[in-house]
Each structure stands twice: as C-alpha cells, then as structure tokens.
Amino acid sequence: MHRRDFTTHLLRAGALAALPLPAAERQPLRDVANARHLLAGAAVSYRELQREDCRALLAREASILVSENDMKWQSIHPAPDRYDYTRADALLAFAKTSNAKVRGHNLCWHQQLPRWFPSTATSGNAGELLRAHIAEVAGHYAGRIHSWDVVNEAVFVEDGRSDGLRKSPWLELAGPSYIDLAFTTAAKADPQAILTYNDYDLEQDTEAHEAKRRAVLALLKGLRARNVPVQALGIQSHLVASTSPYQWSGFHRFLDGAEKLGLTIFITELDVDDTALPADIADRDRQVAACYQDFLSNALKHHNLQAILTWGFTDPDTWLNHFHPRKDGTPQRPLPFDGQLQPKPAYFAMEQSIEAAPRR
C-alpha cells in the first residue's frame, strides 16, 4: 500500500490521531522558500531517485534538484564518441512530475573525468573536447535546466599560481582560457540556463578562505570584464561544525563583491561535517542545526541569493561518510533528514532562517 493510500485508510478508520505525521502538518520547505522568492532543494543520487519514499519526500519538499553524480563527465560521457543520458534524464523526468527546477552539475571539473580521458586528451585537442562536450550536453538539455555549474572548482590557491587557478588537466592542457571557452560554449548551447561558477571553501573568516575568495572574485571580475557570459556564483557551503563559531565579515564582503558584479548567488551543496562534535546524537543534531541557522541567516541577508540546495537530503546517503568519516565510527549527521526520512533540527533551522529572512 502506498503511504497516501495507507493514510487515507487510517483516516477512514479514525486512527490518524495515533499516527505521528509531522509531514502532513508541516508546511513544505519549498512553500516556505517560495514565499521568500527562494528555491529550496537538494542533490539526489540515482539510488534515492528510485525509492518511492524518497521521491515522495522530494516532491513535497524540493522546488529545485540537482543530480549528485549523473551529469558529470564520467557518467554522461562514458566513451569518446558516446553519451549516456539515462540516469540524468530520469531526474529530469521526475522533476517535471514534481514541478521542480533542475540544476546541471557540471560541465567542466578536474574530478570524475571518464577513464578514457587521460589517454585521449592532449594539449592539441583538449579545447575542442571541452567545447564538443558542452555543446552536446548543454544542447541536449537546452531550455530544461535552471542553472548550469559550467565550471566547477577552478580555483585552488595552494597550487601557487599568481591567478589562483588550479593546475587541473583542463588548465594544463588547454591553458587558462578554457574557462572562457566553457562559458561561451554553454551560452550558445543553452541561452536560457543561468551560467554559474561553483566553488568551495569560501565561507570561513580564515586566511585560507579569504585568499580563495580573493582569487574567485578576481576570476569572476576578469570574466565579466571580457564579457564572458557568467551569471551566477555557486557557493558550495560544505561547512564544518566546530566549537568556535564562524565569523562572517569576509563572507559578507565577498557576497557584496559578487553583487557588484551583477551575479546571482546560489548555495549549491550545503551540509555540515560533524566530525569535531561529540557522538551524542541529540547534542550533535543541535549543533549542526545551529551551524545551518548561523550560516543561512547570514547568507540570506543578501538579496541576490536565489536558491539553497543541500548536498543530499538524508544522513545515510552523505558523501561525508566516505570522504570524512568520524573517528568514533558512527555515521555523520550532516543533512536535514534522518534515515527514516524524518526532519531533523537542521531542517527546522533551514525553515526558520528562511522564514526570518528579510523580504526579497
């Protein structure tokens, strides 16, 4: 029996009062966000997309979705002469039925390149490979994507270049102009999508994050000055809960800088790494939620912020368990829903910060 049928059955049986049904009483997050002219949603894995309970939750809560992995080169371009849209198309089909927008992630990144890439890409053909891929993939989805992460994580100050650019395969094979090429190609292939530069480590008031913010703003300024069609900045927002709360002055200056360049802002991959927090679940959930609230209430002061997406939506599916496991072996709790698809304090923190956001 589907959950809705089950509920109807119980309603008829007069048994509803005994059932804990918080979802039915809550206003969905997408409606709370919509009232503030914001989109709210999450990254979705193909595994979750196939689960009826996950689909029902996403349909209810999310007005914007992004595929966690299925639009990356590795998945969508499995052989030099072959593209595979099966999984990504499934997300678009679902989004259509649930009336959600879809972000495209991503068209150009140094990770999750296909296995054929290293032996095929050369300095002679890398620019053309990039152009052809973007023309094909952005062309396939033209008119159906809210915003594309055209270039992802191109800045890595630690690589020591004066322009802050990452020594990625793209930079090394095609030179720094690969970024211009990616955006101009995407604009041609899909004139409707909001073309986004997306990156991480932009939030904290530390020297490292400040240096990254400087390099990202310089990159964006250069793109705008050359009339390269970049329209939005994606701030991934993989936050780390710690005992010393974040300070936000550098972050605010950064968002002001992006606004001056006329860029829209998206929070694209929000989650909170809880490795520094104690094992106690209630305590952890409370501190993770406090981090959500602190971050979002600051970010939402900026009127050019238009969408908030978490990177996954249920704790058991988080990438953090694979990439940053807790030392005590317990799973991380970085997301708004738990493994039973119940909303956690982080969910209510999102809801409250959006409700409290200045009118936009």
Shortest Å distance, C-beta 94 to ligand 9MR:
19
Alpha-carbon distance of 23 to 291, in angstroms, equals 23
Q: Binding of ligand 9MR at residue 269 (CB under 6 A)? A: yes
Q: Which is nearer to ligand 9MR, 223 or 320 (CB)?
A: 320
Query: In this structure, what token pair is assigned to residue 50?
Result: 């196939």
Alpha-carbon distance of 306 to 302, in angstroms, equals 9
DSSP notation for 231-299: -EEEE--EEE--SS----HHHHHHHHHHHHTT-EEEEEEEEEE-TTS-S-HHHHHHHHHHHHHHHHHHH
Q: Binding of ligand 9MR at residue 74 (CB under 6 A)? A: no
Verify whether residue 269 is a known catalytic residue: yes
Count of beta carbons in the 10 Å neighbourhood of residue 140: 16
Q: Which is nearer to ligand 9MR, 69 or 330 (CB)?
A: 69
Q: Which is nearer to ligand 9MR, 236 or 293 (CB)?
A: 236
Q: Binding of ligand 9MR at residue 247 (CB under 6 A)? A: no
User: Any idea which residue has 């955006």 for tokens?
Assistant: 183
Q: Which is nearer to ligand 9MR, 74 or 304 (CB)?
A: 74
Alpha-carbon distance of 47 to 314, in angstroms, equals 12
Beta strands (DSSP E) in 13-169 are 39-44, 64-67, 101-105, 147-152
Alpha-carbon distance of 29 to 61, in angstroms, equals 5
CA distances to 241, 242, 287, 299 from 354, rounded to whole Å, are 20, 23, 18, 10
CA atoms within 13 A on the CB side of 308: 33
Shortest Å distance, C-beta 103 to ligand 9MR:
11
Shortest Å distance, C-beta 51 to ligand 9MR:
17
Verify whether residue 172 is a known catalytic residue: no
Q: Which is nearer to ligand 9MR, 73 or 351 (CB)?
A: 73
> Among 50, 86, 111, 120, which residue interacts with ligand 9MR (rule: CB under 6 A)?
111
Q: Binding of ligand 9MR at residue 319 (CB under 6 A)? A: yes
Residues 20-59 that bind ligand 9MR (CB under 6 A): none
What is the number of the residue whose Cβ is closest to ligand 9MR? 319
Q: Which of 48, 61, 68, 153 is catalytic?
A: 153
Q: Binding of ligand 9MR at residue 236 (CB under 6 A)? A: yes
Binding residues with ligand 9MR: total (CB under 6 A): 9
Q: Binding of ligand 9MR at residue 325 (CB under 6 A)? A: no
> Among 68, 70, 203, 210, which residue interacts with ligand 9MR (rule: CB under 6 A)?
68
Q: Which is nearer to ligand 9MR, 69 or 342 (CB)?
A: 69
Alpha-carbon distance of 59 to 64, in angstroms, equals 10
Please, is 229 exposed, middle or buried when counting C-beta atoms within 10 Å of its C-beta (0-12, 13-18, 19+)?
middle
Residues 127-186 that bind ligand 9MR (CB under 6 A): 152
Q: Binding of ligand 9MR at residue 112 (CB under 6 A)? A: yes
Q: Which of 61, 203, 269, 351 is catalytic?
A: 269
Alpha-carbon distance of 188 to 137, in angstroms, equals 12
**Which residues contribute to the site for ligand 9MR (CB under 6 A)?**
68-69, 111-112, 152, 236, 269, 319, 323
Which positions are annotated as active-site residues? 153, 269
